[in-house]
Amino acid sequence: MADRAESETPRVGAAVLPDPGSVPHDSATTHVTGRSEYVDDRPMLRGELLCGIVYSPHARARLTRLDLSAALAVPGVACAVTAADVAHNLWGSIIVDQPLLVEQEAQYAGEVVAVLAAESRESLAKAMRAVRVEWEKLPAIRSIDQAVAAGAFIGAERSIARGDADAALAAAPHRLSGTVVIEGADHFYLESQAAIAYPRADGPMEVHSSTQHPTETQHVVAEAIGVPFNEVVCIARRLGGGFGGKESQAAPIAAYAALVARKTGRPARLAISKDDDMIITGKRNPFQIRYEVGFDGEGRLLALKAQLHSDGGAYADLSTAIMERALLHSDNAYCIPDMHVRGQVCRTNHHPHTAFRGFGGPKGVAMIESVIEDVARTLGRDALDVRKRNVYAPGRDTTHYGQKVENNCLPALFESLEARCDYRRRREDITKWNADRSSNPRGLSMTAVKFGISFTTRFLNQANALVNVHRDGTVQVSTGAVEMGQGVNTRIAAIVAERLGVPIGAVRVMVTSTEKNANTSPTAASAGTDLNGAAAAAACDRICARLANLALHLRDLPPERWPSRTAGLGTQPEAQVTDHPPAEPVRFEAGRVHAGPFSIAFADLAREAWLSRISICEYGHFATPDLGFNKLTGQGRAFLYYTQGVAASEVEIDRFSGEVKVRRVDLLMDMGRPINHALDVGQVTGGFVQGMGWVTTEHLFYNADGLLVSHSPSTYKIPSIQDTPRVFNAHLVFNEGNAANIRGTKAAGEPPLLLSLSVWTAIRDAVMNARAARSGGRDLVPMAIPATAERVLRALEPEAFAAIETR
């Protein structure tokens, strides 16, 4: 990886800033020593119950018998909860269409029908075995093609268009059409879904949940048990990973625990196993994309039409918003003059699919990057040259939804990484290598990302924060952001420390709770720091204004007349200050406050403020400005800014097994002015490797009844240390040109994952190189995601597999 000196170059359209430093993650020590507390680590209370779930094993089935009598007779079993116990049995983040518990008909394998609660794990296990459930299996829709044929859809078809794609296609010198198949993937967070509900006799029910969206969890729990929102408090201390899988789907888990707690009056804990978690929770939406592209002899894209279908599963969850994001990112880094993309979510009998790092962005980007590879192969050109010919540039910098690409670093990023990774020489070497048909095929590809940062639903782009300065100068900060390993607390602490001019060690970011921060948005869309950090900064600015005015007041007073000398006796009038900007410059830095030659320790000034009855606590609210995307017309400013990057990946394929080895990755990301360099590098490299798993080895298998069978680490292969690139060069560009966001930083959570598509396109490059070496042609070889070893081997040797299968 890049060291600090390397990460300061290249200068991509902006001045290079000094390394901002790398304060350790606030939980780094407790993580590595095993002392970090997650939901299921909380000590058991006297009388606490353990919960288990009963779910459908069929994709679609009518419930004909649910007999819990034997289970309830097991010693130690306290209760069972069914749909009859739920005050309001429907929930949904966008469309309220999903039952918490099955009433008559299950719509997917894994849909919960009952919850049992017992005093011990042994009693619970025995009771679960005693449950008697009978089902009548019903016809099910198990694929996108079946859903389209049946007209089974969720929501209306969405469309985004610019120009006249049909006319431009008809006039284009060259045309191609194709289909991109993208399968789902599991989030595989290390901490499975978990919640504990504590029924408080003298206050609201307290729910501790592993959730990315405490507010939604609070509301779903309240509706399920039939109380107003103020009768539930949701607390999320930290998550052992989320990646979008706990944005919406943590809420019903918390509701199950709360229903038991409400029914029994006892604390209830539900921490499901990895197997059950994978079976019942939704995945990254599978997509099927059909496209037609028109282009000229130089590889310039002239027109694109695409129809995107996604598998939403049995209920809506977040799939309509995911589809919208896929449509918005179908251009990725490239300007296409005439473009028309349409998207429709299909209703199937799978678990409801949900948010996953990148949301719908990876699907749209996979499509256009695959298109560019095919255009280049058809014309006999290098795909990098085709990308550079089509990349957004001055005069060609408006997207198909009408937003200008501001602070556009994409052309410079391509040029810089091309030189840094020695792309041209390596391409020549790979061509020579592949000419030897006895060698393992190699491929090389460079792809880009232009990821829009903001929720596309405008009202979600808001946050609030509570900043409490104590008399000793230390600070507590509460926001709606949830720490799930990404370092949002560390970044917010850095923002507050910088604003107040105190050491970061003086700032403590508190546990996330709906009691302190209400009506919050989920920690998602890579916007956790952007929104919550800006809200905290707004609170700090008002505190600083008061303290600055007080400092100016104290400067003009003899120390013997300061509040610390006189307030107890009441001999001096109190300072009357406002939170308007001070009349003179006042600096907060290095733990002191400076007003000209006058200087006072921040802690001393905080104490003087308290003695003067001046508030040094503040609530801040932030709403992202300048957003104006019209969902009905598909036009407008959808994002505050774009995080941009490029990656070049080289792969080698074992020609006997189809196994892919990633030999080298060079990655260059524009992160604006990073708040924390080390955390950003961790996000960039971690996101890339997670994406590698999605495009190569992570394959979901379902049985004939629609039940997931690859539901454990032994059957579902996430990347291991053996899968990481043999050479992995990750560099960050310091770009001072991004003025849109708090402190000039750019989001790091989701964008790097999309660069892993360079591994997928490199695999296609290697396969087509090998095929061309044999036939001398330019055959286009489709490759579904994930490009598993079997799929790669089939693509390399289609004739051999055809012969085997016809025997």
Tens-digit pLDDT profile for residues 587-597: 999 999 999 99
| 401 vs 159: CA distance, rounded Å | 10
pLDDT at 140 over 90: yes
Residue 227: alpha-carbon gap to chain centroid: 31
367, HSE (Cβ side, Cα atoms, 13 Å): 31
Task: Give yes or no for residue 19 having a pLDDT over 90.
Answer: no
Strands (E) in 491-640, as ranges, are: 507-509, 512-513, 587-589, 592-595, 598-601, 617-623, 628-630, 635-637
Which pLDDT band holds residue 342 (cuts at 50, 70, 90)?
very high
Q: What is the pLDDT of residues 197-249, one digit of tens each?
A: 999 988 899 999 999 999 999 999 999 999 999 999 999 999 999 999 999 99
Distance between CA 401 and CA 390 in Å, rounded? 17
* 460-479 confidence digits (pLDDT tens): 999 999 999 999 999 999 99
Please give the Cα distance from 633 to 141 (Å, whole number).
Answer: 31
> By percentage, how much of the chain surpasses pLDDT 70?
97
DSSP assigned state of 20? -
Is the pLDDT at 774 greater than 90, yes or no? no
Q: What mean pLDDT, rounded, does the chain reach?
A: 95
Task: Say which residue, 751 or 801, is predicted with more confidence.
Answer: 751
- DSSP-derived secondary structure for 607-672: HHHHHTT---EEEEEEE--S-EEETTTTEEE--SEEEEEEEEEEEEE-TTT--EEEEEEEEEEE-B
pLDDT at 10: 33
pLDDT digits (tens, 9 = 90+) for 411-432: 999 999 999 999 999 999 999 9
For residue 294, give every residue at least 6 positions away whose Cβ sits within 8 Å of its Cβ, in sequence order, or none: 168, 169, 171, 172, 173, 174, 175, 301, 302, 303, 304
656-671 pLDDT tens trace: 999 999 999 999 999 9
Share of the chain above pLDDT 90, in %: 93
Asked if 731 and 6 count as a contact pair (C-beta separation under 8 A), the reply is: yes
Residues 59-88 have pLDDT tens digits of 999 999 999 999 999 999 999 999 999 999
**Could you tell me the two tokens for 507?**
């700032």
Q: Name the pLDDT band for 301 (thresholds 50, 70, 90).
A: very high
Give the pLDDT confidence score for residue 1 in this predicted structure.
Answer: 32
Q: What is the pLDDT of residue 4?
A: 32
**pLDDT (average), residues 586-611:** 97
> What's residue 803's pLDDT?
82
Q: Which residues are catalytic?
A: 750
Average pLDDT on 170-196 reads 98
Q: Is the pLDDT of residue 7 over 50?
A: no
Query: Could you tell me the pLDDT band of residue 769, with boundaries at 50, 70 and 90?
Result: very high
Residue 447 tokens read as: 């792809």
Residue range 428-451, pLDDT digits in tens: 999 999 998 888 999 999 999 999
Instruction: Give the tokens for residue 227.
Output: 């109380």
Query: Residue 512 pLDDT more than 60?
Result: yes
Q: How confident is the model at residue 346 (pLDDT cuts 50, 70, 90)?
A: very high
The SS3 of residue 698 is coil
pLDDT-based confidence at 495, cuts 50/70/90? very high
Confidence of residue 21 (pLDDT cuts 50, 70, 90): low
The more confidently predicted of residues 806 and 308 is 308
Q: What is the mean pLDDT of residues 365-375?
A: 98
How many of the other CB atoms lie within 10 Å of CB of 22? 16
DSSP 157: E
Give the per-residue pLDDT at 805: 78
Long-range contacts (CB closer than 8 Å, 24 or more residues apart) made by 725-728: 725/649, 725/662, 725/663, 725/664, 725/665, 726/661, 726/662, 726/663, 726/664, 727/663, 727/664, 727/665, 728/1, 728/664, 728/665, 728/667, 728/685
Average pLDDT over residues 88-108: 98
- The pLDDT of residue 369: 98
